[in-house]
Structure 1
Amino acid sequence: MKKLLSGAAACALSVAFVSEAAATEWNASVWGKRRAFTEHVEKIAELVSEKTDGEFTINVSYGGLSKNRENLDGISIGAFEMAQFCAGYHADKNRAITVLELPFLGVSNLEEEVAVSKAVYDHPAVAKEMAQWNAKMLMTSPMPQYNLVGTGDPRTTLEDFDGMRVRATGGLGKAFEAVGAVPTSVTATEAYNAMESGVVDTVAFAQHAHLSFGTINKADWWTANLNPGTVNCPVVVNIDAYEMLSDEEREALDSSVDEALDHYLANYAELLERWDTVLEEKGVEKVEFTPEVIAEFKAKAADPAREAWIKDMEAQGIPGQELYDLVIETLEKEQASN
């Protein structure tokens, strides 16, 4: 009997060990704290676990695995399996997707941002460039058009932007530079301190970031309709880790992307509905630019930035014109369907 029990116990332990060994656990590196910007990462982790009965789990880490500017490097060496990053943090590492950060592209809502991002992410030039970092595009982190919060007197004309110290990365930084501002690319987590210490006068963020990183608490005013552009922040996975997934696990991950993005969009819509109330509660003045000022800004920033970007990309062997045309064609198609 003892021998039989020992054998049964050994068998149970063996089954338990195999079961444990078969489970897949990923780590996802993001930053800051849980907020609208990370809701799709949280949702996809939840969906993957549900679809695999807990056999495939994704642990979301807020800054515990890597600095936000180093997430792509971490993916490249397999330090973690999933990560979120923003193209403007290291434009030289992800040149092709910076087309999505060009100023005044004409994207008017988050659904359109999702559509143009998907189209660009699916382009072979993007897949090839990301593969150099052992990264595969999974999904975007759609954000509204950025706007400024600032201290002191409101800036209502382009002349007011001359000498303005602004936290703005990538194409947005170049757009503000085109009208005389002085951009700095401090990270999102550094923006509040930069504003508090006077390193910058203004900060360009989407609404959720102004809330999450506290810049709205230092603001005297907010530009409600400048809408110069946004940043593009993909979620990527390590190619080796992705290919090591079982067919069932890979299907669970891939099939959850659209649902995770739908959750993100619904959550962000609720935040946007509350935004005016937030401004009122914090005593932040809403600045509305005239159509003439916006047109002047666009003329000075959009055309030169686009032409310079295309020329620069083509010189580096990246199909800049093709990528830009893809964005515009996708946007026109999306807007026509709505």
Structure 2
Amino acid sequence: MKNNKNAISGAKKAGLTRRNILRHAGLASTAALITACDNGSQTTATGAPAIIGKKRKLKMVTSWPKNFPGTGTGAERFAKRIEELFDGNVTVKVYAAGELVGALECFDAVSQGKADMYHAAEYYWQGKSSAFNFFAAVPMGMTASELTSWIRFGGGQELWDELSAQFNIKPFLGGNTGTQMGGWFQKNINTIEDFQGLRIRMPGLGGEVMKRVGATPVTKQGGEIFQALSQGNIDATEWIGPWNDLAFGFHTIVKNYYYPGIHEPGTGLSIGLNKDIWEDFSSHEKSIFTAATMSENDMTYADFNAHNARALTSLIDEHGVQLKRFSDDILKTLAEVSATVLADTASADPFSKKVFDSFSDARSSSMKWGAIAEQAFMNARSLVAK
């Protein structure tokens, strides 16, 4: 509190208008944290570090429909935060999927310098390397908190940096959707045999799991799913969760809504910055940018958790959606097939194996701790709380 008072006092002395004093004071605590990581930065009269650097106009391409809840709005929020933290010296123009490049073309655009950064999910780039899957989501993989722990403190970021550097990109976690739903199905799924012949929209390694149990996986960007489902071109689809599914209106076509989504237990969203720009940043600018991505990662996850709970209630109570759980037998089979898919993915090349080993060690450690921590607590809480 004392730091904010000093910031306000200093701002008055510096001649700032009253309208801007609180905004500068609000940034002071973040700026002070950044300064601790950047001892060489200069400071202003307020005691906050000066934002000294080039004026930059950055283009951010995304894999999401414009202003789409959680993903699209998260990208817009991140862009605004960058502009505020850089005090206007950096501006960010956000492009929705299809406005500058296609949803699945963001990686190449940033790699080649046609755009400056992207907001997407790394499994979209699995054609470049199978290892990218592990930095977004894999079947029976890690939850949001487990993934973040591996990236930040388990060696995941270093591996991700090494992988993306081959394509001239510096990667960051920039959000998480949390555990996703199993999806919308035209027919009941009572046994594993019910997947036979099913045309289901599911990307990444989850799609490979579906293929191995007899379904036909289809990759479609978000904006194409509703039409494909309504016209009968697909029989089932997963997207993200109740918040986004409600917004897309899947419930107007299908009423069977299954859980849990074993294919994406905690999907990391990513921000990829052109590496030439990253290396042109000063250490101070790098600290600011990194702090902004970490903040957005936490904000997006909280956003999804809050809105998914409300949207699920709406789908069931207001729209007659039938919430159904995959049977234990189905889940066990999907888990066994998932293990095989991950092992095959790891064998694709030495680097994928290296990432898989690190990921697996982190998942195992998280599961052991989680069993006696959050999982045990939630089991206990469910005995009395509703």
Give the TM-score, by structure 1 length.
0.82
Separation in 2 of the partners of 1:172 and 1:273?
A: 24
SS of residue in 1 equivalent to 2:262: coil
| 2:28 aligned residue | none
Q: 1:124 to 1:265 in 2, by over 3 A?
A: closer
- Using CA pairs under 8 Å that are at least 6 residues apart, name the structure with larger relative contact order, 1 or 2: 1
State the identity %: 19
Equivalent positions of 1:73-152 (< 5 A) are 73-100=108-135, 101-105=137-141, 107-108=142-143, 110-118=144-152, 122-152=156-186
Matched residues, number: 315
Which of 95, 116, 129 lines up with 1:61 in the alignment?
Answer: 95
Residue 230 (structure 2) pairs with residue 193 (structure 1): no
Shift of residue 151 of structure 1? Answer: 4.7
SS of residue in 2 equivalent to 1:171: helix
For each residue in 1:64-86, what CA deviation from the matched residue of structure 2 results, as whole angstroms up to 9, or x when unmatched?
22111110110011111110233
Residue 33 (structure 2) pairs with residue 33 (structure 1): no
Deviating more after overlay: 148-157 vs 30-39? 148-157
Shift of residue 330 of structure 1? Answer: 5.7
| 2:202 aligned residue | 168
For each residue in 1:89-143, what CA deviation from the matched residue of structure 2 results, as whole angstroms up to 9, or x when unmatched?
33121432213533112x34x3234334546784544323211221111224322
SS of residue in 2 equivalent to 1:36: coil
Shift of residue 282 of structure 1? Answer: 2.1
| 1:50 aligned residue | 84
Separation in 1 of the partners of 2:304 and 2:58?
A: 26
Cα pair 1:223 1:287 within 8 Å, conserved: yes
| 2:333 aligned residue | 296
Deviating more after overlay: 244-253 vs 130-139? 244-253
Q: 1:318 to 1:111 in 2, by over 3 A?
A: closer
For each residue in 1:146-166, what CA deviation from the matched residue of structure 2 results, as whole angstroms up to 9, or x when unmatched?
334435332222121111110
| 2:9 aligned residue | none
Residue 353 (structure 2) pairs with residue 287 (structure 1): no
| 1:258 aligned residue | 294
Cα pair 2:201 2:234 within 8 Å, conserved: yes
Separation in 1 of the partners of 2:367 and 2:294?
A: 21
| 1:8 aligned residue | none
1:304 maps to a residue whose letter is: T
Cα pair 1:125 1:318 within 8 Å, conserved: no
Separation in 2 of the partners of 1:91 and 1:120?
A: 22
Equivalent positions of 1:232-271 (< 5 A) are 232-271=268-307
Shift of residue 287 of structure 1? Answer: 1.0
SS of residue in 2 equivalent to 1:256: helix
Gaps of at least 5 residues in structure 2 are 1-52, 375-386
Separation in 2 of the partners of 1:152 and 1:219?
A: 6
Q: 1:146 to 1:97 in 2, by over 3 A?
A: same
Gaps of at least 5 residues in structure 1 are 1-20
Separation in 2 of the partners of 1:83 and 1:119?
A: 24
SS of residue in 1 equivalent to 2:175: coil
Cα pair 1:151 1:218 within 8 Å, conserved: no
Cα pair 1:112 1:334 within 8 Å, conserved: no
Deviating more after overlay: 191-200 vs 87-96? 87-96
